Structure 1
Amino acid sequence: MLLWIAFSLMTGAAILAVLWPLRTGAAMPAASTAEADLAVYRDQLAEIERDRASGLIAPAEGEAARTEVARRILRASAESGREGASFGDDRRRRIVAVVGLLGVPLLAGGLYLSLGSPLYPPQPLAQRLEGQPNPSDIAILIRKVETHLEANPNDGRGYEVVAPIYARIGRLDDAARAWSNAIRLLGPNAQRETGLGEALTAQAGGVVTVEAKAAFQAALAADPNDPKAQYFLGLAAEQDGQTAEAAQRWSALVAASPPDAPWLGLLREALARIGAPIPDAASGPGAADVAAAQSLTPEQRDAMVRGMVERLEARLAQEGGDIEGWLRLMRAWTVLGQQDKAKTAAGQARTHFASDSGALGRIDALARELGLGS
């Protein structure tokens, strides 16, 4: 009931706002005042003529009276014209008033029937935050998490959820702070450390700062195969003037990446920028790729290279027709000191290319070179 009363008041106010500028004075009388005056003045002229003819007034006085009455007739005639125009204006006002009286309620009612309902509950911000927010309403999502974190400051998962959202909308200080809190509460991992490193790098306008570099190194310690950490550490090396190290990191990452990896374009641009050769993606690591890991600690280097080799081995198990990949796998296992795995790779390669004498010749030649037997 209160809702409909409110609607009625709002509709009345809208109509009043439309009609108020159209208001006029008192209604026009049936007989125009100016027309009545003209009739009186005409009678006066006739009376003056009768008096002059009968000699009741002198000719000079009669002419003066006639002139005065004529002046009044001209003024009344002008007022009569204005009243006619005013009557036309009033007619237009009445038309607009009728449209306002009928149109405003009909338009408002139609919009409400199509877009609203008296059954909808009120939705203030606090209740919207308590309910399930629209995923597209980023402001509501952020405020919901922030409200939760104010009440639960030790919820590391909440910081982890909101940190990338902060970064995406440009709140870089908040993103770095959220990632730091997530790491403090949940412990470090590759995703959290690279998130922190990216936020710090963006804060510095694209410069990999000391703090950002430390975060990427921590990410690489947690996951030696993390592509973001590898890329940004290569970027840090380039910014420090160590282009050889940058080329090594990026080349190894290109070689270890699948052909459809989304970061390959960025890596190729980076390699071209420093004038380094661009290896083929998914060709697997070889001796040169193993050498690219020399700048890492022994543990990081071994983990990185082993992960690259294992990915190549898994790919060849599914797509065994890549002779270059098999040769690289044999060489990589040999470099890592895994002679048995290198021999196994050679045997598997021979099985895949049993009907290809040229490929078998290359496999046997590399096996002899690596000391794996024929």
Structure 2
Amino acid sequence: MLFWIIAGVLALVVSLILGLALLRGRVGDAPPAAYDLQVYRDQLKEVDRDLARGVISEAEAERLRAEVSRRVLAADAQLRAGGESGGQPGRAGLIVAGLVILGLAGGSFALYSQVGAPGYRDLPLKTRLAVSDEARQNRLTQAEAEAKVPAPDVTPEASPEFLELMEKLRQTVAERGGDLRGLTLLVRNEAALGNFTAAHEAQAKLIAAKGNGASAGDYAHMADLMISAAGGYVSQEAEQALRAALERNPDEPTARYYLGVYLMQVDRPDGAFRTWDALLRESDPSAPWVPTIRERIEELAWRAGVTDYQLPSAPGQTAPGPSAADIEAAGEMSTEDRQQMIQGMVQRLSERLANEGGTPAEWARLIRALGVMGETDRAAAIWGEAQTRFAEAPEAMALVREAAQAAGVAE
């Protein structure tokens, strides 16, 4: 309500100022014609000064005096005829003033009612957190979420023979109970058919059969199937599966990706941004979640209040820092210039990786460059840090290890 009062008062004040100016016929202490008259008199004096300095001839001065004098007479006549109102028609001015007030005040309210958010309460941080907590507590169950999604169609490419084999597989798994291999096949094939509900139910039985041996990947896969069955919605049960996966392995990438989705759905863009930004920087460029994150993370950063976010280099782009070609080209420079150039590029890359993180290719490039420069101690330190960062990413670790071996700091 306070917003409406302030907006209404401001609109009314501005409208009254414009309306009074229209009714008075002027905006200052004198009518417009009085200002014109003063300007013309100053012009007559300027003509005399120009003539005295020899800038214009006597004939030109006479012509200018006659023209300005004509304007002086016209302005004086207008001033006498208009009086204090400047000749502004009273009724017309009143009508225009009324239209201005109606258009500015009424139009502003009408526009805001269409494109604004009338009645929407203020959302300070404490309130936003309370709203997010409420959204967490009121999440739909998996069954409720799936009920809102249209029934899936069986994959049209599935042959009658395959569907017949699937029926036999379902029957066999039901009879054998905790058959791990049968359950694994059932999960895979139900998902291939688009039967995500049956797939996550089979995955839950597989996890139960494994007991304490169930891995973070097992729980992340179950959450993935649940979310697919719910059309992208992260239900109460799906969130529990994500938490279970991350308890077993905080770096499980599928769980981290869907945790970001969940945080966006409960209106916590700050947590979602931190989760996705870290995952993007640590992921292999070919990971399936990377394109989605790259497409949405800049908007997510804006929503999280991060105004200076820089999207990491896209797959295929040259990573910052000196490449082998850079170092080879530097051979044509003087020794001092070459060392200065290489050290500058290496230092910039090192600082960015330390502050913002980076891709495995960038870590490998830094280690390789330090090895070429003979700074094996720094290369060994970076290699040690990389082993911790990419411990759960075998492909990334292999790339960085190769660079460390080339730098002579790894076996």
Relative to the length of structure 1, the TM-score reads 0.41
Relative to the length of structure 2, the TM-score reads 0.37
Q: Which protein has the larger Cα radius of gyration, Structure 1 or Structure 2?
A: 1
